[in-house]
Structure 1
């Protein structure tokens, strides 16, 4: 029986060059071409490919272990990521309107503990009269039990003088479930008891036990969008919904947004916010909406 021919040196060099890039897609394409043109050497080609895949698996395991150790030994103020948004407008003529919108989001992902801080401010004047003045801040830690289940805590502050309250404080804790956790889509829900204290502009106050329902949804529509100048962009929709329900007043906060990345750190974002109160103070309305376009800086 004749000896099996060795893989030609040019083909071996081509495979080695692809492997040196560390790019799995490139290696897979070269391996497929090599098999098609060298059917008698498929076993040797497969051996080269398997050695590459084994090395990649070892590298991934080592990287994950190093990342875990880095998280484990990180200080309290380390490993935070976030983004800040800023938008403003000014119009004159038949009307005199101006406004500003700003927000900040900070996240820290740990081995078991995750933290999220949010703050936003919206201010608007129309013909010399303040028509919107809203502040919002929240802190949400959660503890991961397993891949799908987590325990959350939430502290939240709101101020909306136009709606009639100078301060509304909410605390909640309960359980959450990660329904979808994919590269392009993630969806989680949470629920638990809540306590809310509201201080109104007229000097009165109200405190009640309540229940909280929450939803967080993110969908990466596409990996690449091209602008006329050739920049790449990532477009994502992000939706959060939180409902706090008690026997007297149900409030719902819904935020939907579309974000396009124009560089590694800079993005533009369009968002639409709905704030609903089933029993607003006298003179207030149940539903407020806000559409805004902002510049986003990620860090």
Structure 2
């Protein structure tokens, strides 16, 4: 197919040359080439066409969607796809803080940094987080978390993955915890508007508690990472979660999630509203709550 214009599909045949047919006569089009499509009231970008269960579908940057009738398409043309650079990088730094005085003196800091590097078929992701909270001059929380993930793609969507993380959390009686693991992952979507991936790994986990006890075990770690850039102008919804399940004891599991919304302020700056929900079914001590839930509002800088 060459394109669609003035209600007609144009294509080139090696034998018959340039041909045209009116859209009202078209039922299906299958093409691995990429096109920009203009429909009534919207535009779709970088689309290729396929047929599934006798229905026409479009796979575009905006997602996969059915097309009820080709007569809805106003125009289509080839997408000019620039070659991807060898090295791609993106990252962010997010800061949320609270400082109040009067009847109570409260200070809270929450700093998140994340950077991702893509080199050909490999992806490296580094993340760091620091939380500090105090009330009336006494510290009530201090925690560090650092992680690294490595992904090596062997198809457009399947990849081998490895990870490692280290954390401390004094007020959850956790002197230190570290883990390393390997497994497989699948990139469901990676477009201008959507990112969706899932990873499953087998990890070795070691924990040293302030009580003097230690705990180590093999575990299964499931990660999901989703982002929806709603309008291409900086508005974004995101969700990440991690489920860690011990192989040795069914009741030894934890779930950590972050769900939020970004709205652009100016340039690379955006505001962030997010909810964190953490559930640890076997905390260090019975006195420690299993559920840790936190709403935060902050500023995000993307680079």
In structure 2, how many angstroms separate the alpha carbons of the residues matched to 1:158 and 1:291? Answer: 21
| Deviation sequence 1:141-176 (CA, Å, 0-9, x none) | 101121221111110112111111011101121111
Map of 1:126 onto structure 2: 135
In structure 1, how many angstroms separate the alpha carbons of the residues matched to 2:191 and 2:115? Answer: 22
Give unmatched runs, 5+ long, in structure 1. 1-23, 27-52, 225-233
Map of 1:288 onto structure 2: 292
Q: Name the CA shift for 1:145/1:25 in 2 (closer, same or farther; >3 Å).
A: closer
Map of 1:254 onto structure 2: 257
In structure 2, how many angstroms separate the alpha carbons of the residues matched to 1:101 and 1:181? Answer: 29
Map of 1:263 onto structure 2: 266
Are residues 1:238 and 2:238 paired?
yes
In structure 2, how many angstroms separate the alpha carbons of the residues matched to 1:166 and 1:262? Answer: 39
TM-score by length of 2: 0.70
Q: Quick check: 2:240–2:259 contact (8 Å CA) kept in 1?
A: yes
Deviation at 1:126, TM superposition (A): 1.6
Q: Quick check: 2:95–2:110 contact (8 Å CA) kept in 1?
A: yes
Deviation at 1:25, TM superposition (A): 9.1
Give unmatched runs, 5+ long, in structure 2. 1-35, 39-76
In structure 1, how many angstroms separate the alpha carbons of the residues matched to 2:114 and 2:135? Answer: 28
Q: Name the CA shift for 1:298/1:181 in 2 (closer, same or farther; >3 Å).
A: closer
Deviation at 1:94, TM superposition (A): 2.2
Deviation at 1:238, TM superposition (A): 1.2
- The count of residues paired between Structure 1 and Structure 2 equals 230
Residue 93 of structure 1 aligns to a residue whose secondary structure is coil
Give the counterpart of 2:217 among 208, 224, 227. Answer: 208
Deviation at 1:297, TM superposition (A): 1.4
Deviation at 1:114, TM superposition (A): 0.4
| Deviation sequence 1:251-288 (CA, Å, 0-9, x none) | 21101121112233111111211121101011211111
In structure 1, how many angstroms separate the alpha carbons of the residues matched to 2:101 and 2:208? Answer: 35
Hey, which of these two has a bigger chunk of helix by percent? 1
Are residues 1:274 and 2:283 paired?
no
Give the counterpart of 1:98 among 107, 115, 122. Answer: 107
Map of 1:185 onto structure 2: 194
**Which segment drifts farther, 113-122 or 127-136?**
127-136
Residue 162 of structure 1 aligns to a residue whose secondary structure is helix
Map of 1:142 onto structure 2: 151
In structure 2, how many angstroms separate the alpha carbons of the residues matched to 1:25 and 1:214? Answer: 34
Are residues 1:154 and 2:154 paired?
no
Deviation at 1:295, TM superposition (A): 1.3
TM-score by length of 1: 0.71
**Which segment drifts farther, 249-258 or 113-122?**
249-258
Deviation at 1:208, TM superposition (A): 0.7
Deviation at 1:194, TM superposition (A): 0.9
Q: Quick check: 2:193–2:232 contact (8 Å CA) kept in 1?
A: no
**Which segment drifts farther, 272-281 or 181-190?**
181-190
Root mean square deviation of aligned Cα: 2.5
